[in-house]
Amino acid sequence: ATSASDDLQTAVSSSNMAPQKAAKRIGQGMAVPLAKKPKMDPACKGIIEAVEQANDLSENCRKMLLACIPKAFGTASDDRHETQAIMVKMVGEVLEEVQAKLQQAVDVEQAKVGGIESRKGQLETTLASAEAQLAVTAQEAKAKEATMAEATNAEQSAKALLQEKQEAQKTGDAAIVLAQEEKTTIEQVMATSLHAIVEGQSDDAVRHCSALAPFLKDVDESLMSALPSSCMKKISERGSFDAMVLDQIGTHFKDKFAALSRALDEAAPAAQQRAAAVAEAQAELNGASALRQTAAVGLNVAKAAEQSALVALQVAKDALAAHEPEYLQATGARDDKAAELENFKLYNMASFELLRYRTSAKAIAGA
How far, CA to CA in Å, does 72 sit from each of 41, 50, 77, 357? 11, 16, 9, 12
Does position 17 have pLDDT exceeding 60, yes or no? no
Q: Residue 366's pLDDT is what?
A: 62
What band does 292 get if pLDDT is binned at 50, 70 and 90? Answer: very high
Q: What is the 3-state secondary structure (H, E, C) of the chain?
A: CCCHHHHHHHHHHHHHHHHHHHHHHHHHCCCCCCCCCCCCCCHHHHHHHHHHCCCCCCHHHHHHHHHHHHHHHHCCCCCCCHHHHHHHHHHHHHHHHHHHHHHHHHHHHHHHHHHHHHHHHHHHHHHHHHHHHHHHHHHHHHHHHHHHHHHHHHHHHHHHHHHHHHHHHHHHHHHHHHHHHHHHHHHHHHHHHHHHHHHCCCCCHHHHHHHHHHHCCCCCHHHHHHHHHHHHCCHHHCCHHHHHHHHHHHHHHHHHHHHHHHHHHHHHHHHHHHHHHHHHHHHHHHHHHHHHHHHHHHHHHHHHHHHHHHHHHHHHHHHHHHHHHHHHHHHHHHHHHHHHHHHHHHHHHHHHHHHHCCCCHHHHHHC
Residue 194 phi/psi, 5-degree rounding, is -65, -40
Does position 212 have pLDDT exceeding 90, yes or no? no
Looking at every residue in the chain, the average pLDDT score rounds to 87
CB 146 within 8 A of CB 299: no
pLDDT digits (tens, 9 = 90+) for 62-115: 999 999 999 999 999 999 999 999 999 999 999 999 999 999 999 999 999 999
Rounded-to-integer distance, Cα 205 and Cα 209, Å: 6
CB 212 within 8 A of CB 198: no
List the one residue out of 347, 330, 366 whose CA is nearest residue 113: 330
Mean pLDDT throughout 219-228? 84
Does position 201 have pLDDT exceeding 90, yes or no? no
- Other C-beta atoms closer than 10 Å to the C-beta of 291 total 18
Does position 128 have pLDDT exceeding 50, yes or no? yes
Residues contacting 15, CB < 8 A, separation 6+ = 68, 71, 83, 84, 87
Least confident of 46-50, 202-206, 333-337: 202-206
Does position 43 have pLDDT exceeding 80, yes or no? yes
Q: How remote is the C-alpha of 67 from its chain's centroid?
A: 69
Rounded-to-integer distance, Cα 367 and Cα 358, Å: 14
Least confident of 82-91, 113-122, 146-155, 228-237: 228-237
More confident residue, 349 or 238: 349
Does position 46 have pLDDT exceeding 60, yes or no? yes
How far, CA to CA in Å, does 248 sit from each of 83, 202, 225, 243? 163, 20, 13, 9
b/e per residue 166-182 (b: at least 16 CB within 10 A): eeebeebbeebeebbeb
pLDDT digits (tens, 9 = 90+) for 329-363: 999 999 999 999 999 999 999 999 999 989 887 76
**Environment class of 130 (CB within 10 Å of its CB; exposed 0-12, middle 13-18, buried 19+):** buried
Q: Residue 29's pLDDT is what?
A: 45
Does position 8 have pLDDT exceeding 70, yes or no? no
Rounded-to-integer distance, Cα 154 and Cα 157, Å: 5
More confident residue, 26 or 348: 348
Mean pLDDT throughout 303-332? 93
b/e per residue 34-44 (b: at least 16 CB within 10 A): eeeeeeebebb
- Other C-beta atoms closer than 10 Å to the C-beta of 304 total 12
More confident residue, 11 or 59: 59
Vertex 91: Cα angle to 19 and 6 (nearest 5): 65
Does position 158 have pLDDT exceeding 60, yes or no? yes
Q: Residue 41's pLDDT is what?
A: 81
Residues contacting 194, CB < 8 A, separation 6+ = 208, 212, 249, 250, 253
